[in-house]
């Protein structure tokens, strides 16, 4: 088992109708002015906006709506300007991963004197040193952003999607009410299942290091997602299935699974480029790339593929067959969610993409990716080519 340090200060308030906890939590932080941040308006249709607003009577509230799916840098810079001008002392992000991620960036950008894009570009010496405290009301179980300190920010005019994060960017609290699943379109439920599944695989499908607890926890999340996926897809009103989905997605990326184990994340880094170039939903990019990446890294991941196939999919046969079938089962699982696993199902403009992503990896110095640092830009190009 590798050495590790664990830190996660986010208070999770999980269950039906727990919004009444919000005033008390804000008062603990002596909050006077709240920026209420949300996306394109789903919260006004499903009642979440009203539930939250009812709790904010005793605070000065300024609203900022319109944060896009794959939150846009220019939109977020407008929110950061409001936070500065209005002396906002707390931000409440009400939405899915995009709103929450966007607010992590806003929280840092509003306390940063230079150009925040430099931070996203990781220019030497450029980093957020302070952040406005923020909480979340989760409306889409998928990213785990409600319980982690990472964010992904898009800048579509230059086809960029950049990651950021650090200890400043844990939410103070997150209200997680599984009833929100009932209003989600099937596409977003499928995305949430696939993203949670892939967060787990990125931290599990590597090589054995003897951290049996983390491995079993990952297998528990994968098995639970496989069990509840058909139920929640067929009936989003099934509270028990929805609650299990939400709890799985939080656990898949709250920092627990990575403790003492190697992690991969290369599927995510390639996937982010597919979103940057084509706007494909984040989770769908993962379902496209992962099977081909696992094939490319078949030897390096062999032991874990066998363990995954045996324990999670109950496969029988030779180790070779089990490892191959495990990849096949994973792809079928995504397809049964209604997710297409080829780039060509989303766009015909595919001629440039493998070379372009390879070049981006080279430009960023990402030349040794994956848990064994074995995925080169040439591998990335091959993975993308085979994903078309």
Give the residues lining the site for ligand NZQ (CB under 6 A). Answer: 39-43, 46, 69-70, 95-99, 101, 139-140, 142-145, 148, 150-152, 180, 183-184, 188, 191, 195, 253, 268, 282
- Do β-strands 150-155 and 160-165 pair in parallel, antiparallel, or remain unpaired? antiparallel
Minimum distance between the CB of residue 114 and ligand NZQ, rounded to whole angstroms? 23
> Measured from the CB atom, is 42 or 341 closer to ligand NZQ?
42
**Partner touching 260 among Zn ion, ligand NZQ, none, CB below 5 to 8 Å by kind:** none
Q: Considering CB distances under 5 to 8 angstroms, the limit depending on partner class, which of Zn ion, ligand NZQ, none binds residue 98?
A: ligand NZQ
Give the one entry of Zn ion, ligand NZQ, none that residue 89 binds, where binding means its C-beta sits below a cut-off of 5 to 8 angstroms depending on kind. none
> Encoding tokens for residue 74?
């220019």
Interacting partner of 96 out of ligand NZQ, Zn ion, none (Cβ under 5 to 8 A depending on kind): ligand NZQ
Comparison of 255 and 309: residue with beta carbon closer to ligand NZQ: 255
Binding piece for Zn ion, criterion CB under 5 A, among 18-26, 178-186, 194-202, 256-264: 194-202
Reduced to 3 states (helix: H, G, I; strand: E, B; else coil), residue 162 is: strand
CB of 285 vs ligand NZQ, minimal distance in Å:
9
148 binds, among ligand NZQ, Zn ion, none (CB under 5 to 8 A by kind): ligand NZQ
| Sequence-ordered list of residues with C-beta below 8 angstroms from that of 75, at least 6 positions apart, any chain | 66, 67, 68, 102
Residue 46 or 223 with smaller CB distance to ligand NZQ? 46
Nearer to ligand NZQ, 66 or 260 (CB): 66
Q: List the x/- string, 145-184, binding to Zn ion by CB under 5 A.
A: ----------------------------------------
The residues, any chain, with a CB within 8 Å of residue 85's CB and separated by 6 or more, are none
At a CB cut-off of 8 Å and minimum separation 6, what does 32 contact? Answer: 59, 60, 89
User: Running DSSP on this structure, what letter comes out for residue 30?
Assistant: T
What is the C-alpha separation between 189 and 167, in angstroms, rounded?
29
Name the residue whose CB lies closest to Zn ion: 195
**174 dihedral zone (left: phi>0; alpha: psi -120 to 50; beta):** beta
Q: Which does 152 bind (CB under 5 to 8 A by kind): ligand NZQ, Zn ion, none?
A: ligand NZQ
**Interface region with Zn ion, contact rule CB under 5 A, candidates 145-153, 190-198, 340-348, 370-378:** 190-198
Give the separation between CA 225 and CA 249, rounded to whole angstroms: 9
In whole angstroms, the minimum distance from the beta carbon of 148 to ligand NZQ comes to 5
CB 69, CB 192: distance < 8 Å: no
Start-to-end C-alpha separation, the chain:
38
Tell me the helices (H) and strands (E) count for the chain, helix number first: 15, 8
Residue entry with tokens 């490892």: 323
In the block, tokens 């290091």 appear at 209
Q: Tell me the number of residues near Zn ion by CB under 5 A.
A: 1
Instruction: Quote the CA–CA distance of 280 and 289 in Å, as a whole number.
Output: 12
Applying CB under 5 A, does 202 fall inside the site for Zn ion? no
Q: Which of 195, 202, 281, 381 binds Zn ion (CB under 5 A)?
A: 195
Q: Which does 285 bind (CB under 5 to 8 A by kind): ligand NZQ, Zn ion, none?
A: none
- Give the Cα separation of 275 and 278 in Å (integer): 5
Q: Which does 209 bind (CB under 5 to 8 A by kind): ligand NZQ, Zn ion, none?
A: none
- Neighbouring residues of 278: CB distance < 8 A, sequence distance ≥ 6: 343, 346, 347, 349
Residues 6+ apart with CB under 8 A from 57: none
Strands in 7-77 per DSSP E: 11-14, 33-38, 60-64
User: Cβ 47 to Zn ion, closest distance in Å?
Assistant: 27
Picked from ligand NZQ, Zn ion, none, the partner binding residue 296 (CB below 5 to 8 A depending on kind) is none
- 198: β partners: none
Closest to Zn ion by CB, 95 or 110: 95
Q: Is 241 exposed, middle or buried (0-12, 13-18, 19+ CB in 10 A)?
A: buried
Pull the structure tokens for residue 56. Answer: 């904010």
Task: Supply the minimum distance, in Å, between the C-beta of residue 221 and ligand NZQ.
Answer: 15
Q: Which is nearer to ligand NZQ, 169 or 361 (CB)?
A: 169
Per CB under 5 A, the segment of 191-199, 237-245, 342-350, 367-375 that binds Zn ion is 191-199
Residues that bind Zn ion (CB under 5 A): 195
């Amino acid at each position: 088992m590798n050495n590790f340090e664990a830190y996660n200060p986010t208070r999770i308030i999980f269950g039906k109708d727990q919004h009444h906890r919000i005033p008390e939590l804000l008062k603990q932080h002596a909050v006077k002015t709240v920026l209420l941040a949300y996306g394109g308006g789903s919260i006004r249709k499903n009642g979440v906006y009203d539930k939250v607003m009812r709790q904010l009577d005793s605070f000065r509230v300024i609203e900022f709506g319109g944060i896009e799916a794959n939150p846009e840098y220019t939109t977020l810079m407008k929110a950061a300007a409001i936070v500065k001008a209005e002396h906002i002392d707390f931000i409440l992000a009400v939405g899915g991963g995009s709103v929450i991620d966007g607010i992590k960036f806003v929280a840092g950008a509003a306390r940063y004197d230079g150009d925040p894009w430099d931070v996203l570009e990781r220019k030497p010496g450029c980093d957020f040193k302070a952040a406005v405290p923020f909480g979340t009301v989760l409306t889409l179980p998928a990213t785990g952003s409600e319980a982690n300190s990472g964010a992904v920010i898009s800048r579509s005019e230059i086809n960029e999607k950049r990651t950021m994060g650090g200890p400043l960017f844990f939410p103070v609290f997150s209200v997680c009410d599984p009833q929100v699943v009932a209003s989600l379109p099937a596409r977003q439920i499928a995305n949430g299942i696939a993203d949670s599944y892939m967060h787990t695989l990125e931290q599990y499908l590597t090589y054995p290091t003897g951290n049996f607890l983390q491995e079993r926890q990952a297998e528990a999340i994968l098995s639970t997602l496989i069990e509840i996926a058909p139920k929640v897809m067929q009936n989003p009103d099934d509270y028990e299935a929805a609650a299990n989905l939400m709890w799985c997605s939080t656990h898949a990326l709250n920092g627990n699974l990575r403790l003492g184990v190697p992690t991969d994340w290369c599927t995510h880094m390639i996937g982010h480029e597919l979103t940057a170039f084509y706007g494909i939903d984040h989770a769908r990019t993962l379902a496209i790339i992962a099977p081909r990446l696992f094939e490319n890294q078949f030897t390096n991941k062999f032991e874990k593929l066998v363990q995954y196939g045996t324990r999670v999919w109950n496969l029988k046969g030779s180790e070779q067959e089990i490892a191959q079938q495990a990849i096949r089962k994973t792809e079928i699982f995504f397809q049964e969610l209604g997710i297409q696993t080829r780039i060509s199902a989303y766009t015909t403009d595919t001629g440039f993409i493998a070379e372009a992503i390879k070049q981006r990896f080279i430009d960023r110095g990402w030349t040794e990716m994956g848990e064994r640092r074995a995925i080169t830009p040439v591998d990335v190009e091959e993975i993308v080519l085979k994903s078309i």
